[in-house]
């Protein structure tokens, strides 16, 4: 889940657009009228990636014998553009969506089930299939996904005499204290008041048994108290409430944070800093017996209802190609994402041990829309508001969660 400038798993702020989703079901059944044979054999692709992903699209186009037109849209502008395209009946043939947005768009009637084209999620990580499913029907597939782990500075660990990464919250807290000194925090994460802040809090909440259905439970309060304790210890900056994930990784690169929560999309930029000696580990749980549960990030590819059944069928096969083993591995290599197929993911992790903690986390990762579906954004807003209230000292963690649950 990246920031809007560097996105791989981040949910765009679709709450403002939610009210505009209803018209999709009324307008998405149209489509551009193909004027000639060439147009009929051309698929339009829309995403918020950059040109680095184009070779994968080109390879699938070649295998299917079609031409493609690719439209890269800035991340924050994708959902507004989709809404506008639906109203004007100009939806693309293949549409990429951040996975938490998929259910809202599917609920609007703008997407067609992939099963109509013989596409299934067989062999993929269950949470990947769940992320692309709405009311029992598969609408999107993610070729490669991402999640969260902790990056740490090996040199700082060694200098402090720490020989192994922490595995529990108590160990993480004591390690962060030990690594904190003048000009450097032991731990950093993003607690910003956006979906990004919720995304970073979820591993602590979910691994401890908390649920978005009711955030007032003791389990979620324990998780929030832990984050507050890190700040109260002086191990985490009070500025975390305004830091994005990009800000957090900048702190790490600058040597101002010894450990940071972040995603695998940061690996290419970290490797550019040859003097930075770093590694990764799985986000600790409160108890050693608990299973780490992190949120699933990444994008799904869908087939909009354009009204042109022939092109929709080709688009379905295009999505199937994107989810193939070869495409998954290529996407993972380009974006440092994790292949959605567990076997491919394992091979990818073995090629680079800094990736392996993310591979491990993906096995038990949870789709953010898995429980609440299209209502996830409401819960995400409550969560990041509660984190903000607690970290700014306006209420205790338990009180902050009770306040926002009622919003």
- Per cent of the chain over pLDDT 70 is 90
Do the domains at 15-146+296-363 and 149-292+372-405 have one common CATH topology? yes
Length of the chain in terms of residues written: 407
Q: Is the pLDDT of residue 100 over 50?
A: yes
Looking at domain 149-292+372-405, its CATH class is: alpha beta
- Per cent of the chain over pLDDT 90 is 87
Please give the pLDDT value at position 394: 98
- Provide the token pair at 109: 């009637």
Q: What's the CATH number of domain 15-146+296-363, 3.30.360.10, 3.90.226.10, 3.40.190.10, 3.40.50.300? A: 3.40.190.10
Band (335; pLDDT cuts 50, 70, 90): confident
- In contact, 346 and 154? CB cutoff 8 Å: no
Among the ranges given (10-24, 27-41, 47-61, 296-310), the one the predictor scored with the smallest mean pLDDT: 10-24
Q: Is the pLDDT of residue 375 over 80?
A: yes
* Residues 6 or more apart whose Cβ sits within 8 Å of residue 35: none
Q: Is the pLDDT of residue 24 over 80?
A: no
- In contact, 105 and 21? CB cutoff 8 Å: yes
Torsion angle (degrees, nearest 10) of CA 226, 234, 238, 386: 20
- Provide the token pair at 269: 């930029």
Please give the pLDDT value at position 5: 37
- In contact, 57 and 64? CB cutoff 8 Å: no
Interstrand relation of 42-47 and 94-98 (parallel, antiparallel or unpaired)? parallel
| Segment 104-146, tens digit of pLDDT | 999 999 999 999 999 999 999 999 999 999 999 999 999 999 9
Question: What are the DSSP E strand ranges found in 116-172?
Answer: 133-134, 137-138, 140-141, 144-146, 149-153
Please give the helix or strand (H or E) that residue 223 lies within, else none: helix 218-232
| Segment 58-82, tens digit of pLDDT | 999 999 999 999 999 999 999 999 9
Please give the pLDDT value at position 161: 98
Please give the pLDDT value at position 164: 96
Please give the pLDDT value at position 1: 63
Q: Where are the domains of the chain?
A: 15-146+296-363, 149-292+372-405
Q: Is the pLDDT of residue 219 over 60?
A: yes
- Provide the token pair at 58: 């080109």
The sign of the torsion formed by the CA atoms of 372, 374, 378, 383 equals: positive
SS3 label, residue 108? coil
Among the ranges given (23-37, 73-87, 90-104, 245-259), the one the predictor scored with the smallest mean pLDDT: 23-37
| Segment 138-175, tens digit of pLDDT | 999 999 999 999 999 999 999 999 999 999 999 999 99
Query: Average pLDDT, whole number, for the chain?
Result: 91
Please give the pLDDT value at position 407: 80
């Amino acid at each position: 889940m990246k920031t809007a400038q560097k996105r791989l798993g981040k949910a765009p702020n679709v709450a403002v657009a939610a009210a505009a989703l209803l018209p999709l079901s009324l307008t998405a059944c149209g489509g551009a009228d193909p004027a000639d044979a060439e147009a009929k054999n051309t698929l339009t692709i829309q995403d918020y990636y950059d040109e680095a992903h184009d070779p994968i699209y080109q390879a699938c186009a070649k295998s299917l014998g079609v031409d493609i037109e690719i439209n890269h849209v800035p991340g924050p502008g994708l959902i507004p553009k989709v809404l506008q395209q639906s109203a004007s009946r100009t939806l693309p043939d293949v549409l990429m969506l951040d996975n938490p947005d998929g259910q809202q768009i599917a609920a609007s009637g703008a997407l067609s089930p992939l099963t109509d084209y013989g596409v299934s999620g067989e062999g993929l990580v269950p949470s990947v299939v769940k992320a692309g499913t709405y009311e029992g029907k598969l609408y999107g597939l993610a070729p490669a996904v991402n999640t969260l782990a902790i990056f740490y500075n090996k040199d700082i660990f060694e200098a402090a005499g720490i020989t192994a990464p922490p595995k529990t919250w108590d160990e993480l807290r004591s390690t962060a204290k030990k690594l904190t000194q003048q000009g450097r925090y032991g731990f950093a994460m993003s607690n910003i008041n956006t979906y990004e802040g919720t995304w970073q809090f979820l591993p602590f909440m979910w691994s401890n048994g908390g649920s978005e259905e009711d955030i007032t439970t003791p389990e979620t309060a324990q998780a929030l108290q832990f984050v507050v304790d890190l700040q109260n210890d002086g191990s985490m900056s009070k500025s975390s409430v305004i830091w994005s994930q990009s800000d957090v990784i900048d702190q790490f690169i600058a040597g101002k944070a010894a450990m940071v929560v972040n995603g695998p999309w940061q690996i290419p930029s970290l490797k550019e800093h040859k003097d930075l000696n770093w590694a990764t580990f799985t986000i600790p749980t409160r108890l050693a017996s608990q299973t780490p549960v992190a949120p699933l990030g990444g994008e799904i590819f869908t087939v909009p209802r354009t009204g042109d059944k022939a092109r929709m069928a080709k688009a379905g096969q295009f999505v199937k190609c994107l989810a193939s083993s070869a495409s998954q591995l290529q996407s993972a290599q380009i974006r440092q994402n994790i292949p959605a197929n567990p076997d491919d993911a394992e091979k990818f992790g073995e090629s680079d041990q800094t990736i392996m903690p993310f591979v491990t986390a993906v096995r038990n990762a949870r789709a953010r829309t898995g429980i609440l579906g299209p209502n996830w954004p409401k819960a995400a807003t409550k969560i990041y508001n509660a984190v903000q209230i607690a970290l700014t000292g306006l209420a205790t963690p338990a009180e902050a969660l009770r306040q926002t649950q009622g919003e």
